[in-house]
């Protein structure tokens, strides 16, 4: 989240007049890269989340709303406008959500926190198994191949291409089944905690059909390494234990390893393309992180 499109308080109140709430102030957020997000305050200082979607259209937002409405028992935002009142600002779709307290982690997660993520993901997958999203699966072999070819055709140092090729050859035949609807981006910055308690999981706008193993692998890549890329086996064990208990299935490390490697390379390629090929003006971290994690997973798990 963050701010890419500016808006005034008067404009917000005009756009959201149908919800019969008078907003007294708005506060820009400073995190994230995808959509514009403000915190709104009413007369009683109650908080709300206001989003301007930079690329998602009404159909995609309605898809997110439908998904969130099915997750009411989980710590996810609640959409507060009637579908008929979905509006646009400067041609961009807007949304109003409940505000969930807490803060994204800026340090390594504890075992208790990783267990809560496993518990959430297990319950999420239990509810979305065999469900369909209008968002097509973007975490596929074909998508990986296209990104890999883009890097190979790009004018960059040959050693970079060699690193990507070595990894690609190891995962190019990976088959990830479509199990249901996945989050696909469950990194630390898409969650909030109050002390040790998980209070929010958000940014479902790009949730799509996909592999539950891939969804788990995103969490492994984002939550189970320390700042020096040392793999934390105890975190993986805690994640899988909580996930299996919540979902009622048995996922073992051996069957997850291939998906973990796939996810590492996917995000390494995605970051490289965003930063160096597309040259998008967004805050993207270095791709090297995920190539390092690829090697750690390959050699230690």
- At residue 31, the pLDDT reads 60
Please indicate, yes or no, whether residues 48 and 117 belong to a single structural domain of this protein.
no
* CA distances from residue 19 to 16, 84, 105, 281 in whole angstroms, order as listed: 6, 12, 32, 35
- At residue 34, the pLDDT reads 77
Q: Look at the chain and report how many structural domains it folds into.
A: 2
- At residue 33, the pLDDT reads 62
User: Phi/psi at 70 (nearest 5 deg)?
Assistant: -90, -5
From 33, 66, 98, the end of a domain falls on: 98
Q: How many CB atoms lie within 10 A of CB 79?
A: 21
Domain contains 277:
yes
- Those residues of the chain that have pLDDT short of 70 are 1-2, 31-33, 281-284
Record the pTM: 0.93
User: Phi/psi at 294 (nearest 5 deg)?
Assistant: -55, -50
Q: How far is CA 96 from the centre of its chain?
A: 19
d(CA 58, CA 86): 7
State the pairing for strand pair 191-194/197-201.
Answer: antiparallel
H or E segment and range at residue 272: helix 253-272
Domain contains 147:
yes
Please indicate, yes or no, whether residues 168 and 275 belong to a single structural domain of this protein.
yes
- At residue 280, the pLDDT reads 76
d(CA 150, CA 144): 10
- At residue 128, the pLDDT reads 98
- At residue 3, the pLDDT reads 84
């Amino acid at each position: 989240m963050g701010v890419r499109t500016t808006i005034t308080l008067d404009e917000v109140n005009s756009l959201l007049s149908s919800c019969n709430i008078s907003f007294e102030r708005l506060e820009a957020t400073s995190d994230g890269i995808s959509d514009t997000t403000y915190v709104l305050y009413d007369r009683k200082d109650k908080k709300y989340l206001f989003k301007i979607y930079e690329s998602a259209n009404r159909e995609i937002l309605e898809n997110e709303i439908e998904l969130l409405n099915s997750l009411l028992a989980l710590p996810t935002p609640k959409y507060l406008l009637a579908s008929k009142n979905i509006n646009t600002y400067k041609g961009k779709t807007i949304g109003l959500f409940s505000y969930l307290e807490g803060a994204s982690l800026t340090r390594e997660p504890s075992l208790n926190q990783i267990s809560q993520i496993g518990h959430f993901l297990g319950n999420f997958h239990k509810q979305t198994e065999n469900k369909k999203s209008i968002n097509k699966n973007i975490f596929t072999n074909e998508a990986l191949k296209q990104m890999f070819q883009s890097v190979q055709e790009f004018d960059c140092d040959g050693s970079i291409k060699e690193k990507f090729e070595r990894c690609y050859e190891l995962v190019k035949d990976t088959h990830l089944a479509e199990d249901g609807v996945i989050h696909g981006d469950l990194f630390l910055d898409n969650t909030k905690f109050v002390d040790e308690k998980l209070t929010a999981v958000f940014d479902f706008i790009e949730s799509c059909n996909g592999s539950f193993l891939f969804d788990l692998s995103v969490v492994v890549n984002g939550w189970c390494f320390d700042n020096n890329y040392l793999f934390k086996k105890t975190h993986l064990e805690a994640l899988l234990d909580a996930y299996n208990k919540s979902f009622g299935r048995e996922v073992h490390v051996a069957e997850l390893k291939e998906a973990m490697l796939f996810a590492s390379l996917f995000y390494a390629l995605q970051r490289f393309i965003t930063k160096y090929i597309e040259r998008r003006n967004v805050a993207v971290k270095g791709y090297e992180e995920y190539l390092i994690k690829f090697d750690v997973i390959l050699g230690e798990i």
